[in-house]
Amino acid sequence: MPGDSRRIAGPQDSRAPHWFGRQQETHQEAGGTRQDGRGDHDLRPVYLHTGVVSQATGSAYMEMGQTKVIAAVYGPREISRREEFTMKGRLCCELKFATFSCRQRRQHIQDNQERDGSLIVLQALEPAVCLDKFPKSQVDVYITVLQDDGSALAAAITCAALGLADAGVMMYDVVVGCSVRQCGEDQWLDPSVREEFRPEVESAGDHGMVTVGLLPSLNQVSALVLDGHLQQQTAVQAVKTCISGCQGIYPILKDCLVSSTRRNVPSLEQKSGQTSTDGQNGQT
């Protein structure tokens, strides 16, 4: 990394050990099912948790299989740089992959993929946040992918939305992200990293990846990213699969928010508990 004097520099040139690996990993095709034994339209196990960063206004952690994402939300706070006056608030997103998150080591400085991802997450969240509720101020969302095992962008969208909800930022709806990988005839929901980087089969007509950000209770799509080349019919089908995937994650997210609110406001539970016992007393 030339010109980075603020970090401790390693040797000029180094290569990951799997470059020199003897046998390349063979993709084993077991008829119908995927490598981890899921069906084509099955999600991996999802784990969500809020309030993981004590210093942040709101934060969330998400696991989808081995993909691990953490998001922290700060604000609404004053816009640091002097800019034009707006009655609308500003949302800022920064997506970063940890250096150790992928098989190939990533650099500290934000690369193009991360910048691209930041923008997609921002555009997915913007329609959901009531920006006119906090004029002249900004909300910062920082997302770090700790381990990328596929569908990292989709996980980042979900995690960021959950962080915003945890921070108490007013929103019309949460946003849930989900990805689909189309490879020839096969359509895989929530692909793992091996499925994402599958080499193109020469004869295959369709080859691509679709990521959707969905506002589940409004049933509106806030983000749609399509890489590769798909026939119109397949593309529509892939988006539909994504949406059904999002609807599958939504109940988990809802449960997580309800339980975190219970945790944060214990008085609420006590009060409701008291009133119920009072009611019972009244009845007896």
Nearest to 185 by CA among 238, 243, 224: 238
Q: Binding to other proteins (CB under 8 A): which residues in 108-127?
A: 108
Distance separating alpha carbons of residues 25 and 227, to the nearest angstrom: 25
Choosing from 26, 80, 233, 280, the residue that interacts with other proteins (CB under 8 A) is 80
Distance separating alpha carbons of residues 47 and 155, to the nearest angstrom: 11
Choosing from 79, 102, 226, 257, the residue that interacts with other proteins (CB under 8 A) is 102
Given the rule CB under 8 A, which of 97-105, 127-135, 248-256, 263-271 is the region that contacts other proteins?
A: 97-105
> Is 79 a binder of other proteins (CB under 8 A)?
no
Distance separating alpha carbons of residues 225 and 213, to the nearest angstrom: 9
- Beta carbon nearer to other proteins, 197 or 240: 197
| Minimum CB distance to other proteins, residue 110 (Å) | 9
> Is 18 a binder of other proteins (CB under 8 A)?
yes
CB 48 within 8 A of CB 62: yes
Choosing from 114, 140, 173, 195, the residue that interacts with other proteins (CB under 8 A) is 140
Element (H, E) at 163: helix 152-166
| Minimum CB distance to other proteins, residue 69 (Å) | 11
CA dist 40 to 20, 33, 138, 192, Å? 33, 7, 41, 12
Choosing from 42, 94, 126, 186, the residue that interacts with other proteins (CB under 8 A) is 94
> Is 204 a binder of other proteins (CB under 8 A)?
no
Nearest to 46 by CA among 170, 171, 177, 169: 177
Q: What distance separates the 2 farthest-apart alpha carbons in the chain?
A: 80
Choosing from 43, 46, 48, 53, the residue that interacts with other proteins (CB under 8 A) is 53
- Both structure tokens of 23: 């046998």
Contact footprint for other proteins (CB under 8 A): 6-22, 52-56, 66, 68, 70-72, 74, 77, 80, 94, 96, 98-103, 105, 108, 140, 142-144, 146-149
